[in-house]
Amino acid sequence: MKFAIVVYQNLTLLDLVGFTDAVQRLKSMNILPDLELAYCAFSQPVSDNFGFPIRIDHIAPDLASFDLIFIPGGIGSRILLSDIDFISWLQTASSIPIKAAVCTGSLIMGAAGFLEGKKATTHFDEYEHLHQYTSQVVPADLVEDQGLITAGAVASSILLGLHICKLYASEADALLIAKRMGIPDLYKNANVQIY
């Protein structure tokens, strides 16, 4: 099983790390020992909004070869919304069964056309912007709508990672991972909407 982690210049590091910390535990705890996380970018170099460099495994791969894509948010997302080449590359993921994003990564999903007819969420300061891509903006920590999973502000990246753990393993495994991370209440008390 292969997950594509889409990275880009000026992403928010906590969006990236919160998700990958939870999901990588599926492998490190031997729940899904064959899980591969691949850091994929359209171009290089990539660093977060404070200049922290991000390792890239693949430049502009065909995203259809992955089982899941994840897009973090960040200040750099705004530039990508109008980057035709980046969006065209991202659209190679159209056939992937699970697409996930946190914060303004949801806006990138919208620019790629993935939010049409779907319910979604993003950072609470970006709800109006999200309305450009879907009329069904839901003010929640996490929204799942038929394989499209979006999460709110930055801390929701951990919740999104745990939700993916639940989907690919089990509720018990997700709760065990949340306990190992020291955040079982975040997982149990979140406002999650599934459609």
Top CATH class of 2-194 equals: alpha beta
pLDDT in tens, 146-160: 999 999 998 899 999
> Tell me, what's the pLDDT at 185?
86
- Where along the chain do its domains lie? 2-194
pTM: 0.96
Alpha-carbon gap, residue 146 to 190, rounded angstroms: 19
% of the chain residues with pLDDT over 70:
100
Q: For residues 194 and 165, give the distance between their C-alpha atoms in angstroms, rounded to a whole number.
A: 15
Pairing of strands 36-41, 58-59: parallel
Q: Give the pLDDT mean for 135-148.
A: 97
**What's the average model confidence in pLDDT over 121-136?**
97
Average pLDDT score, the chain:
97
